[in-house]
């Protein structure tokens, strides 16, 4: 079960004017499950995205990048079950054919459609099933189908992931709603596994591209389950402009800071939900690193801790074998780190200082914290003012089982 995660029901998700969503059972990999999603955007909407840096990126990622640069976007299409990654030229052709099929259905150009896939790598899409399912998606289109959409993009997720906020900009109510999926192969190097956030705010495309990167860096780029960057990671931000305020044209525009804060809040909730629902997770762990010379080295230390199998299995066992955390800090690639200046806490318990075990540390205090389902690890590097936060989970027996059985 997810760690302290209460997924929102349909009644807690707000419709975004200018966005409609439809789902269908296409039988892409398994029967009797919703596995195809169509998101239609009204004319005038803007979209921006960030994508995986995995060099073996999936065909839909390649097509998405090209289409975002070519034309205003009118639709997004998402399939689960098969990732269309490691599929060569046929994979590109299939992604383009999916866009063409959507374009014919809703009356736009193929380059105005963004395709997304998630699932098993190195298998081809069943194009006839996808083409047969798309008319059913169109028939199901509705503004209040965000919860259904969140369920339709799940793979090994155990619960749908969605969030909503409203804010005021120039006296107008602005709505933000987003969905994401992911539970394993999680260590984004740009954004999330699949994430889509829409708002009815009016935002110019250059500002939207800036926002999507800033929001990703403060949310989805701060999580890890297993340290594996997916071939398909994609995060798209949509602004329909229906709220009625003046367009946000630069960072100094009225409403920019308010909108960015609200977008970040939604993205953080979605990103943390991915970790809380990590494959086999039993604990949610916050790693805070401070006192670094720059944020890059703080993030390096945070990820060294959060991705260490030895650290993660110790958390699963509630074992205060905390030398493993110190080893991870020392293995983070800071060649001139003075270990005598490093301090380590578990919640409020000072574990290490002066290059070793703190004189006041008692193992029973560490054991008490390790039994909690939510734990904060805090590291002070003692060499500057920079800081960073990473969110992760433990490794349990179920992580191995889920991934060993994934294709069966």
SS3 readout for 29-86: CCCCCCCEEEEEECCCCEEEEEECCCCCCCHHHHHHHHHHHHCCCCEEEEEEEECCCC
366 touches 346 (CB < 8 A): yes
In this predicted structure, the answer to whether residue 222 has a pLDDT above a threshold of 90 is yes
The reported pLDDT for the residue numbered 403 is 81
Q: Mean pLDDT throughout 15-43? A: 96
Predicted local confidence at residue 185, as pLDDT:
73
Percentages helix, strand, coil for the chain, rounded to the nearest 5? 35, 25, 40
Q: Where in the chain is the domain with CATH 3.10.20.340?
A: 284-404
Set 80, 98, 192, 224: catalytic member = 192
The pLDDT, as a whole number, for residue 407 is: 67
Q: What is the mean pLDDT of residues 346-354?
A: 97
User: Which pLDDT belongs to residue 53?
Assistant: 86
Termini Cα distance of the chain: 21
Per-position b or e across 167-189, b if 16+ CB within 10 A of its CB: bebeebebbbbbbbbbbbbbbbe
pLDDT at 105 over 60: yes
For 142, phi and psi rounded to 5 degrees? -160, 150
Q: What is the overall mean pLDDT for the chain?
A: 94
Strand-pair partners of 8: none
Instruction: Specify the higher pLDDT residue, 79 or 7.
Output: 79
Checking 139-142 for CB contacts under 8 A at 24+ apart, the result is: 139/22, 140/22, 140/23, 140/24, 141/20, 141/21, 141/22, 141/38, 141/40, 142/20, 142/21, 142/22
pLDDT band at 188 (very low <50, low <70, confident <90, very high): confident
Q: How many CA atoms lie within 13 A of 156 on its CB side?
A: 28
Q: What is the pLDDT of residues 52-71, one digit of tens each?
A: 988 889 999 999 999 999 88
Start-end ranges of CATH 3.60.70.12 in the chain?
A: 10-276
Residues comprising the chain, all counted = 408
Percent of the chain with pLDDT over 90: 85
- With H, G, I as helix, E, B as strand and everything else as coil, classify residue 105: helix
Distances (CA, A) of 364 to 13, 259, 305, 353: 43, 45, 22, 18
Does the pLDDT of residue 192 top 60, yes or no? no
Q: Specify whether the CB–CB gap between 290 and 387 falls below 8 A.
A: yes
**Would you say residue 295 has pLDDT above 70?**
yes
Residue 192: active-site member: yes
Fold of the CATH domain 10-276:
3.60.70
Please identify which residue in the block is written with the tokens 């960072």: 251
The fold of the 284-404 domain, in CATH, is Ubiquitin-like (UB roll) (3.10.20)
Helix (H) or strand (E) holding 286: strand 284-292
């Amino acid at each position: 079960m997810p760690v302290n995660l209460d997924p929102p029901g349909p009644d807690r998700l707000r419709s975004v004017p200018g966005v409609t969503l439809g789902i269908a059972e296409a039988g892409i990999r398994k029967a009797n499950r919703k596995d195809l999603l169509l998101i239609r955007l009204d004319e005038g909407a803007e979209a921006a995205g960030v994508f995986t840096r995995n060099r073996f990126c999936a065909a839909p990622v390649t097509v998405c990048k090209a289409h975002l640069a070519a034309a205003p976007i009118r639709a997004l299409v998402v399939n689960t079950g098969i990732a269309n990654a490691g599929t060569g030229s046929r994979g590109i052709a299939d992604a383009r054919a999916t866009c063409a099929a959507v374009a014919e259905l809703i009356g736009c150009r193929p380059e105005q459609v963004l395709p997304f896939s998630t699932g098993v790598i190195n298998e081809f899409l069943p194009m006839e099933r996808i083409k047969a399912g798309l008319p059913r998606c169109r028939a199901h289109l509705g503004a209040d189908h965000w919860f259904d959409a969140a369920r339709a993009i799940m793979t090994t997720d155990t619960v749908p992931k969605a969030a909503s906020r409203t804010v005021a900009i120039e006296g107008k109510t602005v709505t933000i709603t987003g969905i994401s999926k992911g539970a394993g192969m999680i260590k984004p190097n740009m954004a999330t596994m699949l994430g889509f956030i829409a708002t009815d705010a009016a935002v110019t495309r250059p500002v939207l591209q800036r926002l999507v990167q800033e929001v990703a860096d403060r949310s989805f780029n701060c999580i890890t389950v297993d340290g594996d960057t997916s071939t398909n990671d994609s995060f798209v931000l949509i602004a329909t402009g229906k709220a009625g305020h003046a367009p946000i044209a630069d960072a100094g525009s009225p409403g920019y800071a308010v909108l960015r804060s609200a977008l970040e809040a939604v993205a953080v909730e979605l990103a943390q939900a991915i970790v809380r629902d990590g494959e086999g997770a039993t604990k949610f762990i916050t790693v805070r690193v401070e006192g670094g010379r720059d944020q890059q080295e703080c993030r390096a230390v945070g990820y060294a801790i959060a991705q260490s199998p030895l650290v993660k299995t110790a958390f699963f066992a509630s074992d205060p074998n905390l030398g493993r955390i110190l080893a991870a800090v020392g293995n983070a690639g800071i060649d001139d780190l003075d270990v005598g200046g490093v301090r380590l806490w578990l919640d409020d318990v000072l574990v290490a200082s002066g290059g070793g075990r703190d004189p006041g540390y008692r193992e029973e205090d560490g054991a008490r914290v390790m039994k909690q389902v939510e734990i904060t690890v805090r590291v002070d590097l003692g060499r500057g003012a920079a800081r960073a936060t990473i969110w992760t989970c433990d490794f349990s027996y179920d992580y191995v089982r889920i991934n060993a059985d994934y294709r069966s």
